[in-house]
Structure 1
Amino acid sequence: MSINNQLSSTYSQASSSQKSEKSVLNKRRYRRYNWLFLMSALLPVVAVGIFNIIVDPYDVFNTPNLLGINHSKPRKDNSDRLFKTTDIIRIKPVTVLMGSSRTKRAIDPNYPALKHQPAYNLALTKGNFYELRRYLEHAIANQKELDLVVIGLDLFMFNSLMGTRESFSEQRLEKKYIILADLLNITFSLDALFASQETVIDSNKNPTNNIFDGENGFIPYLNVDPKKTKSRFEKIMNNYYVGYKRGYQSSNQLLDEFKKIVSK
């Protein structure tokens, strides 16, 4: 082999080695960039999830209520179809109280006359009998020894013009765990983040002695102004005798749902 050929071969090998090293360096650089990109994208999401779990604005994870941080949960009251599902899974009550918001705000599950404990207030705001029947089945699925069911009746619960609430979900019922859709929503959604923010702000503003966290599903009115009792009563009567007269239609289907509840 001539000297020129040897030099050419040596140069070619050196050039190939340099290209190989450069390729390895580029791969490492791209890999590092990809990791940085993934971390920058995932860290905020993970941080939001951890924040929502700690604050627990819907009281689903049963995390400790810290005074001044998350002891007041303003979004909880209107999320009863969510948090009561998980409460039933966790508490497994042998006594349940069912009905509308009047039952939810009126009957304390810890009342001494309710001998069969644990008891739980499973009443739902504007719940109809189809929803109540499904939540009763959810309670039975999680507690085969369910012993006592107390039902508060409201006229509107038989009204066919009032459908189920948007927050009602068949998928979460008769389960022994939080379904994935709910878990993702209450952990990573912007709505949950805003609810957590509202919880922290409200907890910081509200005095701790005026807070009731809705233990066992019972959420009474607090700090009721006696001067407004008459106006509140008149408003309720107006809803019944004026509002329902204009928009009320008795439902045989909902009556059948009530019969199913009684027969269980």
Structure 2
Amino acid sequence: MNHVKGTYRRFNLVFLGLGIPGLLSIGAFNIFIDPYGVLSSPEVTGVNHSKPEKTDRARMFKAADVVRIQPKTVFLGNSRAEIGLDPNHPALADGRPVYNLGLPSSNIYEARRYLEHAIANQPDMERAIVGLDFAMFNDHWQQPTTDFSDSRLEKTRLPVDESVSAALSLDATQSSLQTFIASLEDASDPRVAPGDTQNYYIEGGVLKRKLPAEQSMLKRFQTNLRNYLEWSYRRYELSESGLDDLRQIIALGQQHDIEIQVFISPVHAVQLEAIRASGLWSDYETWKREIAEITPVWDFSGYNSITSEAVDQITDNYLESAHYLHPVGDLVLNRILDYEAETVPDDFGVLLTPETVEPHIEQIRRDREAWVAIHPEQVDWVQKMARRLRD
């Protein structure tokens, strides 16, 4: 019996002697590489500067960034804001640090919770610019995605379990290896993702998205619209709880003396045609009326000189039908912040209030009629796509 006990004891000692150093080595490697950008490790070009694994963990690393950066100005919204708004816009020079808290495929509840998180970490917050999108208020999409966690919000540090996981888990180790390889592939410019990496983040929480260079703009538009017709617009019901979340965002601004500026994202005109082809145009107009009752809101959507650009002529303004790029985002911020107003087209950005919303809705209807007369083929292929997906 004593012999057996001695054998077990020796085994345990050997196991611990080998296992603990191995675990510590893995932890040290993961902490140094910091593949998710949540452990405050320094970035070394060619070693860990390119972090493609962050793209699946935006909600975690952005919560950690808020703790670390304590921004005084934040952008809120879904991937429209995340891709289109530049924290380095010169009009925001007096409100730095500025951070883009846009979250992919998010709803308005998440925007509200991340604003509360930002306030908890920066009691002197000055401004929140909130980009709204019709899909954010779909009652069938009000449950946050699986990587959302309330437990990490309104804290001054990342929860222990997530910190441990980021340092010691198998997933973290695999992500560290991918990060190291990606950084080796392109050590020349830390702002550019290597190879075929499609999505990557740069400083300030901005998402950069690459699409295949050989893919035409028309193909990009069609692929994106198909996703919306199949998912976001197939089942839609305007969310009362989502509208209440927006009311709470406005109330938070009043309670904490934060300037809350709200705008409707400038999706391309064909994106609006997908809403219409889904039978949701009346809901879309109702949504605008409801928002205007809650707060003044800048509306950059519609059939204006920016959003109605011919698809085959687009170069710098849109990634595809739903996502505008920084040249458009800069115009949005120029209008909202009253900066270099002469650069903004007169028809781009209308302030909606209970008094102005109805005339504006009527103007959009007239603008659409004019746009359809010029671009009937774009309306036609959106409607044909919608019919095929319904059949």
SS at 2:96's partner residue? coil
1:142 Cα deviation after fit = 0.4
Distance 1:110 1:224 in 2: 27
**Higher strand residue share:** 2
- Which whole-Å deviations, capped at 9, do the CAs of 1:125-153 have from their partners, x for residues lacking one? 11111111111100000001111000111
Which residue matches 2:38?
A: 60
Using CA pairs below 8 Å that are at least 6 residues apart, which structure has the higher relative contact order? 1
Q: Does 1:205 align with 2:193?
A: no
SS at 2:16's partner residue? helix
Distance 1:44 1:133 in 2: 42
- Which whole-Å deviations, capped at 9, do the CAs of 1:12-31 have from their partners, x for residues lacking one? xxxxxxxxxxx9xxx99987
SS at 2:128's partner residue? strand
- Asked if the contact 1:89–1:176 (Cα under 8 Å) also holds between the matched residues in 2, the reply is yes
1:32 Cα deviation after fit = 7.0
Q: Does 1:169 align with 2:157?
A: no
1:69 Cα deviation after fit = 1.9
Cα 1:245–1:90, aligned 2, differ >3 Å: closer, same or farther?
closer
Distance 1:75 1:228 in 2: 27
Match of 1:244 among 232, 247, 267: 232
Which residue matches 1:196?
A: 176
Q: Which amino acid aligns with 2:68?
A: R
1:221 Cα deviation after fit = 2.6
Distance 2:249 2:90 in 1: 25
Cα 1:91–1:246, aligned 2, differ >3 Å: closer, same or farther?
same
Deviates more, 1:31-40 or 1:170-179: 31-40
Q: Which amino acid aligns with 1:178?
A: L
Deviates more, 1:139-148 or 1:234-243: 234-243
- Asked if the contact 2:45–2:187 (Cα under 8 Å) also holds between the matched residues in 1, the reply is no
- Which whole-Å deviations, capped at 9, do the CAs of 1:190-211 have from their partners, x for residues lacking one? 1111111111122222353324
1:60 Cα deviation after fit = 0.9
Distance 1:223 1:249 in 2: 31
Unpaired runs of 5+ residues, structure 2, are: 194-199, 253-391
Distance 2:176 2:230 in 1: 38
Which residue matches 1:92?
A: 70
Distance 1:224 1:259 in 2: 40
Distance 1:172 1:244 in 2: 27
- Asked if the contact 1:53–1:187 (Cα under 8 Å) also holds between the matched residues in 2, the reply is yes
Q: Does 1:153 align with 2:141?
A: no
- Asked if the contact 2:60–2:147 (Cα under 8 Å) also holds between the matched residues in 1, the reply is yes
What is the RMSD of the two structures over their aligned residues, measured on CA atoms?
Answer: 2.5
- Asked if the contact 1:57–1:73 (Cα under 8 Å) also holds between the matched residues in 2, the reply is yes
Match of 1:133 among 89, 112, 131: 112
Match of 2:27 among 49, 52, 59: 49
- Which whole-Å deviations, capped at 9, do the CAs of 1:195-249 have from their partners, x for residues lacking one? 1111112222235332475211112235873853232223333444564331222
Unpaired runs of 5+ residues, structure 1, are: 1-22
Which residue matches 1:221?
A: 209
SS at 2:92's partner residue? coil
Aligned residue pair count: 240
Distance 2:29 2:134 in 1: 41
The TM-score, its normalising length taken from structure 1, stands at 0.82
Which residue matches 2:222?
A: 234
Distance 1:58 1:244 in 2: 28
Distance 2:152 2:14 in 1: 37
Q: Which amino acid aligns with 1:199?
A: T
SS at 1:152's partner residue? strand
- Which whole-Å deviations, capped at 9, do the CAs of 1:57-90 have from their partners, x for residues lacking one? 1011232222222121111122110001111001
Distance 1:154 1:93 in 2: 23
Deviates more, 1:137-146 or 1:107-116: 107-116
Q: Which amino acid aligns with 1:96?
A: V
Which residue matches 1:121?
A: 100
Q: Which amino acid aligns with 2:101?
A: L
Q: Does 1:179 align with 2:159?
A: yes
Q: Does 1:101 align with 2:89?
A: no
SS at 1:97's partner residue? strand
SS at 2:91's partner residue? coil
Which residue matches 1:13?
A: none
Cα 1:91–1:28, aligned 2, differ >3 Å: closer, same or farther?
same
- Which whole-Å deviations, capped at 9, do the CAs of 1:93-133 have from their partners, x for residues lacking one? 00000111121111111111113100000011111111111
- Asked if the contact 1:81–1:167 (Cα under 8 Å) also holds between the matched residues in 2, the reply is yes
The TM-score, its normalising length taken from structure 2, stands at 0.57
Q: Which amino acid aligns with 1:228?
A: S
- Asked if the contact 1:97–1:103 (Cα under 8 Å) also holds between the matched residues in 2, the reply is yes
- Which whole-Å deviations, capped at 9, do the CAs of 1:171-198 have from their partners, x for residues lacking one? 1111111211101111111111111111
